[in-house]
Amino acid sequence: MRDYFPGRIWEPGMWSLLGGGREPQDATLEHTARRELAEEAGLDLADLTPFGTEYATDDTRATVPIAIYAGRWNGDPTELHLTEGVMLAWFSPDDLHRLRIADTTSDLVRRHAAGLPVHTAPQSGLVRQQEHRASPHGTVPNIIGVHLYLERPDGTVLLGLRHPDSAFAPSTWHLLAVH
């Protein structure tokens, strides 16, 4: 999850892939990817392979090509020392619709998981439909909300980032809540 510094960090508060911009000392794009992994999370991966190019739009509305490399790592993200971003977490491609994530990044992850080539042009947003189940005949639903406050001995509190399409407090950090 990217740091939340509007105006200073591109796509603040959104989930994204690790990476960053090429610097003069980077001999190749693979070198850029390796340097960024090491700088941002202390990662040194044995194998990185080119996957494709994602196109994003920056704050000035310019189209920016982003070279994508794929690698494998099976560690615990909570043990990494992050120098950029707020946190790392594992997600199934099927759960990406619940996250505040760029459509192009979500599409890229799904394509990689399916073994498909990445698109070479900006993509439109994904359309999701919520499933509504009818109550069994003759019953009346009574909806009760429950918020869960979890605290560690050091006083830190567990919060979750609500989906941007949530009916209640979209794109905000909140206590765990259910109906």
Domain that holds residue 153: 141-179
Residue 160 lies in a domain: yes
Number of folded domains that form the chain: 2
Residue 12 lies in a domain: yes
Are 105 and 167 members of one domain?
no
Q: In b/e form, how buried is each residue of 152-176, taking b as 16+ CB within 10 angstroms?
A: eeeeeeeeebbeeeeeeeeeeeeee
Q: What is the pLDDT along the chain (179 residues), one digit of tens a residue?
A: 888 877 777 778 888 888 888 889 999 989 999 999 999 999 999 889 988 887 777 768 888 788 888 888 888 888 998 888 888 888 888 888 888 888 888 888 888 888 865 544 333 333 222 233 344 455 555 556 666 667 688 877 777 777 777 766 677 777 666 65
Are 169 and 84 members of one domain?
no
Check which CATH number belongs to the domain holding 30 and give it.
3.90.79.10
Are 111 and 152 members of one domain?
no
pTM recorded for the entire structure: 0.63
